[in-house]
Chains A and B, each alone.
Chain A
Amino acid sequence: MRAQATDSVTVAMTVNGVSCSRTVSARTTLADFLREELELTGTKLGCEHGVCGACTVLIDGASARSCLTLAAQADGREVTTVEGLSEGRELNRLQASFRDHYGLQCGFCTAGFLVTATELLASGEAVDEARVREVLGGNLCRCTGYETIVAAVLDAADAGQGVRR
């Protein structure tokens, strides 16, 4: 039998290593699913139409705007939010680097930057400043002027797989 169009959807996904399932309105974005159903409020909603990048999460390891993704589209996928980045109660290397370089002020955009940079560092490619700026180009920060964020990511990359000079 063919599937019918429905007002609500039951979605199951793994978020930060934990399986979860909820029945939600079809119009629920992944961002609202994470924040309201799972109470993972580390993911921020800035513009809510894909421009600012604050809501960026990883879906199967690839960065995605959670405000431009339906919860239903993440059904069966593995989602990682900023809450999933730390190592136990310790900041991971990238997070510590943001702290060390003052890569945040108000912090509203930070989850998005961390997640986007996580994908870049996990790709294993040797990065340089231009590449970092290109990949982070879709994330807006109104406090730092970006210099400290780029420095934090480069430093974390340097401690990892290396920086192309």
Chain B
Amino acid sequence: MKFAPFKYLAPESTDEAVAVLGELGEDAKVLAGGQSLLTLMSLRVAQPEVLVDVGRAGLGGVGSGDALEIGATTTQNEALRDLSVRERAPLMSRALLDVAHHTLRNRGTVGGSVAHADPAAELPAVLVALGGEVVARGPAGTRTIGADDFFISHYTTALEESELLTAIRVPGPAPDAWAFYEVARRHGDFAQVGVAASFSVDRDDRVASARLVLFAVDERPLRIAVAEEALVGRRLDDAEARAEAAERCAEAIEPVGDLHGSPDHRRRIARGAVRRALEGVVRETG
């Protein structure tokens, strides 16, 4: 249906956007690509008073210094095509292929997806799996928030009302190995269960550290520490270690049932998804 009426403005710089958000506080909602927000507004689940369109605020683009930095309004397809993203965060490039459909990725933004924090969305899970961080600007200045602390609950993040997510950052070079697997009813649908993981591997090819994240199974992307522990010190081609990690994931989660499946069903899917993710682990050479 049609959106409920709202007021609109499109600041032409980040400074202006931050100032406007500071003044408007909770009346304002930030509009980036609109592929999640406008959907909620068309269902009238969301009825913001004011939309602050940051599409002209100069927040797009990918930078690659010590950390890979992706500007908030970089579209998902721009990130997908970006060679530095592919080189520095191949897990993200892979996951982006499963973000909605091509046409939605033309407008949907990286920052929008992260700030929206849908528990079944790919990019929040990837950011946690890569040990990334969020850059936010508000009236008090700029701060960075680690991905582990950023996602709090359904559609709820550590951002303050008047703060604007300006970029996400992924530190360091690409991980030695990574894995991604998602189960959805149809391609492009939100995940029923998803797995995103990154690993550092030592000289003997054993896992030195792991970040293994499940999404769509809880109110936020969830690192499964007991499964990570099952993999550390063992090789990624060790089928027993992989099976143990999958089993621990299935035991660790407490999924809720919905029309797509019961908790038991979800647990079974999670076990299979982790196993398949780890079977398909990608080793970066070099």
Q: Which chain B residues numbered 1 to 48 have a C-beta less than 8 Å away from chain A?
A: 1-12, 16, 19-20, 24, 31, 34-35, 38-39, 42-43
A101-122 interface bits toward B, Cβ cutoff 8 Å, 1 = contact, 0 = none: 0000000000000001000000
By secondary structure, the A interface counts as mixed
Interface size in chain A (residues, C-beta < 8 A): 35
Q: Tell me the complex Cα distance, A116–B186, Å.
A: 19
Interface 9-mer from A4-12, A87-95, A142-150, A155-163: A4-12
Q: Tell me the complex Cα distance, A59–B6, Å.
A: 24
Residues on A with beta carbons closer than 8 Å to the beta carbon of B106: 59, 62-64
Q: Is the CB of B19 within 8 A of A3?
A: no
Q: Is the CB of B101 within 8 A of A138?
A: yes
By secondary structure, the B interface counts as mixed
Q: Is the CB of A70 within 8 A of B101?
A: no
Bin chain B's interface residue count. 35 or more
Q: How many A-B residue pairs have CB under 8 A?
A: 112
Q: Which chain A residues numbered 3 to 50 have a C-beta less than 8 Å away from chain B?
A: 3-7, 9, 25-27, 29, 32, 48-50
A81 part of interface (Cβ distance < 8 Å): no
Q: Tell me the complex Cα distance, A65–B33, Å.
A: 11
Q: Find the B residue at minimum CB distance from A75.
A: B10
Interface 9-mer from B50-58, B257-265, B267-275: B50-58
Chain A residues with a Cβ under 8 A of chain B: 2-7, 9, 25-27, 29, 32, 48-50, 53, 56, 59, 62-65, 67-70, 72-73, 75, 116, 134-135, 137-139
* 9 A-B pairs (CB sep. < 8 Å): A3-B10, A26-B7, A27-B5, A50-B39, A50-B42, A65-B103, A69-B38, A73-B55, A116-B102
